[in-house]
Structure 1
Amino acid sequence: MARLFIFGLGYTAKRIAQAASAEGFTVSATGSAGDVDFDDSEAVASALAQAQYVLSSVPPADDTDPVLDRYGDLLGDTWLGYLSSTGVYGDAGGAWVDESSPTGEGCRTARAQCDAHWLEKGARVFRLPGIYGPGRSIFERLDQGRAHRIDLPGQVFSRVHVEDIVRGVMAAIASSAPSGAYNLSDDLPTSQNAVVEEACRLTGSAPPPLQTLDEADLSPMARGFYAENRRVANGKAKRVLGWEPLYPTYREGLKAILEAEL
């Protein structure tokens, strides 16, 4: 029986674990919902020795990768996967980026460095844009009064439904995909305003007013979201992994989330 070990059982990795279990994998993981303590070196070493597949969703900490720093020497020739971010591409001025585009020039320098280290290890590095899904979408922000429409003409983002990340990772495992970077993003980069407006249309609510960045009084993290502008191409994942997004645009994704809640 194939064994998958996951470092960091967060929002996305939990769903990958569920999908792997459903396909017959024995899954073990660190994290608050996992069965292994990250700081228990013996337990982690034992789990790694038994695993044929290892996936990390642990983000950088103090500008380094906690998993590679502590357990990198134990990873060996195991199948490796790493959940990274399309933030490694930095600002492209709204242009398309793909896996051959330069990295490390944006605000997420630590993420870009960790991304590069996992590639050096021979991992399948899944670069993810804005992740949304059940319990983590624009609907929650609308309910909490935290949704904004920002007046930034030409500003676009890519995004991906969490289920399509799961499908991409599982496709990489099933197809014995070669190591390297894979962008998992939907087919329609668009403005955050369009997403807000579609969610309001689906719920029959009035969209929030259009504001400048200063008027919106965003947190530094939220403001940083608008500092970069790019479209993320997903052609390599389609060609190499045989992957197709179940939710090719935010419209299908939001509709499915809302229908599941009714």
Structure 2
Amino acid sequence: MSADLEGRHLLLFGAGYCARAVAAQALARGARVSATARTDTAAARLAARGIRPWRLADGHWLPRMALAGVTDLLVSTPPASGGCPAFASVSDALAAGASLGTLRWIGYYSSSAVYGDCSGAWIDERQPPAPASPDAQGRLVAERHWRGLALRHRLTLDILRIAGIYGPEGRNILAQLRSGRARAIIKPGQVFNRIHRDDIAAATLAALRHPRPERLIHLADGAPCSSAELTRGVAALMGLPAPPEHPFDAAALPAGMAAFWAENRRLRVDAMLALPGFALRFPDWRAGYADLLQDPEAEPPPVSAATAAPAR
């Protein structure tokens, strides 16, 4: 990779599955990366990857110095009952005298669930939100909060509404298929968009490198399909027999999964594909799972601990 992010300092509020992949790509491009951590163990793991950890005091408080010199902020924490915890922490830090003087860009990881059920229609970012679940409602509130902060401080903002995420490190159906536990759930007409973790990271960095005043962008592949099609198709790629078919039964699902299956939409991804220098590495599940079958446990490579800063 090129060193086109030299001089940039990316702060991750939340260093989860996708944010860690963003960090690995940003480090490879020459950026400094720091991230919040809730435990000493998590902080040590970040440091081992070359990411400067900032321990959140009392579970949420962000030290003022964590924002010093930061040029880019990526928020991947889910909303809480009182709103976005990252927004609250940054607001508290600003009230305590922190400065956003060097900040250029904010990225917020939202969810395509903010649209609610669209009866399988193709939708783009102009679709009015109609969130049905508490999580989706919270994400829409968080979007408004970050939009307000970006406007007040004249910052560029990307709200990235993400579809179903899959990838290495166990975020796939390979283990279920190998163990014989996988089932092809049949719900006629039901489809889902998905996106590979590494495409999320690449699109995020493309947005960061080419900011605009404010954008809404779907992060998804352009190939929505049913759960059954994917399950049967991946089994075929693995040389396994097709898993047994089961009719959809909402009553048999956990509450969160039932809400997920209650919604049906197809996401257009023209805005994502228009990001300069970006192209989907995995434009559908076939490409993504063919790659996963080569190395299903691949993760972003760690950076030598000798280069890492101590935990704060």
Q: TM-score w.r.t. structure 1 length?
A: 0.91
What does residue 140 of structure 2 align with? 112
Q: Does 1:92 align with 2:98?
A: no
3-state SS, counterpart of residue 223 of structure 1: helix
Does the 8 Å CA contact 1:119/1:181 hold for their aligned counterparts?
Answer: no
Cα separation, 2, equivalents of 1:145 and 1:36: 42
3-state SS, counterpart of residue 141 of structure 1: helix
Q: Does 1:38 align with 2:56?
A: yes
Cα separation, 2, equivalents of 1:42 and 1:63: 15
Matched to 1:57, the amino acid is S
What does residue 17 of structure 1 align with? 23
What does residue 166 of structure 2 align with? 132
Deviates more, 1:101-110 or 1:190-199: 101-110
Matched to 2:55, the amino acid is D
- 1:151-190 matched pairs, under 5 angstroms: 151-190=186-225
| CA drift at 1:184 | 1.1
Cα separation, 2, equivalents of 1:247 and 1:112: 28
Q: Does 1:53 align with 2:72?
A: yes
| 2:83 corresponds to which of 52, 58, 64 | 64
3-state SS, counterpart of residue 166 of structure 1: helix
Does the 8 Å CA contact 1:158/1:190 hold for their aligned counterparts?
Answer: yes
Change (3 A) 1:110 1:261: closer
| CA drift at 1:208 | 2.5
Cα separation, 1, equivalents of 2:122 and 2:148: 25
Does the 8 Å CA contact 2:118/2:263 hold for their aligned counterparts?
Answer: yes
| CA drift at 1:106 | 2.6
| CA drift at 1:183 | 0.6
- CA-to-partner distance for each residue in 1:13-71, whole Å, 9 max, x for gaps? 00101111111111110132441112278863212122011111000012511011221
What does residue 8 of structure 1 align with? 14
Matched to 2:79, the amino acid is P
What does residue 282 of structure 2 align with? 247
Larger Rg: 2
Cα separation, 2, equivalents of 1:260 and 1:10: 20
Cα separation, 2, equivalents of 1:218 and 1:145: 19
Deviates more, 1:66-75 or 1:105-114: 66-75
- CA-to-partner distance for each residue in 1:199-236, whole Å, 9 max, x for gaps? 10011222332212339932222222211000011101
Does the 8 Å CA contact 1:156/1:192 hold for their aligned counterparts?
Answer: yes
Matched to 1:25, the amino acid is A
Matched to 2:57, the amino acid is D
Does the 8 Å CA contact 2:124/2:268 hold for their aligned counterparts?
Answer: yes
| CA drift at 1:192 | 1.0
| 2:247 corresponds to which of 209, 212, 231 | 212
| CA drift at 1:163 | 0.6
Change (3 A) 1:121 1:100: farther
Cα separation, 2, equivalents of 1:216 and 1:253: 31
Cα separation, 2, equivalents of 1:43 and 1:221: 30
| CA drift at 1:250 | 0.6
Cα separation, 1, equivalents of 2:35 and 2:179: 32
Does the 8 Å CA contact 2:222/2:283 hold for their aligned counterparts?
Answer: yes
Return 5+ residue gaps in structure 2 as ranges: 1-6, 47-52, 151-156, 298-312
Does the 8 Å CA contact 2:184/2:245 hold for their aligned counterparts?
Answer: yes
Matched to 2:54, the amino acid is V
Does the 8 Å CA contact 2:196/2:282 hold for their aligned counterparts?
Answer: yes
Q: Which has the higher contact order (CA 8 A, sep 6+)?
A: 2
What does residue 191 of structure 1 align with? 226
Q: How many equivalent residue pairs?
A: 262
What does residue 305 of structure 2 align with? none
What does residue 256 of structure 2 align with? 221
Does the 8 Å CA contact 1:177/1:241 hold for their aligned counterparts?
Answer: no
Cα separation, 1, equivalents of 2:76 and 2:285: 23
| CA drift at 1:175 | 1.6
What does residue 202 of structure 1 align with? 237
